[in-house]
Amino acid sequence: MKRALFPGSFDPLTLGHYDIIKRGVTLFDEIVVAIGVNASKKYMFSLEERKKFIEDAFADEPKVKVVTYKGLTVDFCKDIGVKFILRGLRNPADFEFEKAIAHTNRDLAPIETVFLLTAAKTSYIASSIVRDVIRHNGDYTKLVPKSVRLK
């Protein structure tokens, strides 16, 4: 079974993330969406909220599993027996950043990184932009799946 880990903080899940996961399930037997826990980072949404956003968005997709983890992504991949990391690329800066991480990961473990280009209609969306729109009471609903709609 081909499994891929899609790591991130997902603070919050965006339509860009959603698109990469939806396309990833056509390539892999399972996508493990892994929410990294970083104690030094301040999040807008709790770990439980972020996990629920993703679980609700993919409630009808049995090939998507949502987990949390701490530590190095490659170590987590080894722990759960995943040989691929799935990443989305929005722009050339993303590519340069992700390329360095992919090379480092491959040095640390036999893990391959698979890159998918984001869809043109979501390529401008970043979680940091969504958080800023939310903070300023803007209409963030065009940037996130329905599962992220706040009350």
Q: Which residues are the active-site residues?
A: 17, 41, 90, 127
C-beta of residue 131 within 8 angstroms of C-beta of residue 11: yes
Which residue is associated with the tokens 């040095």?
107
Q: Which residues, at least 6 apart from 47, have a Cβ–Cβ distance to it below 8 Å?
A: 35, 37, 68
Q: Distance (Å, rounded) from C-alpha 54 to C-alpha 29? A: 18
Report the C-alpha gap between 63 and 131 in whole angstroms.
28
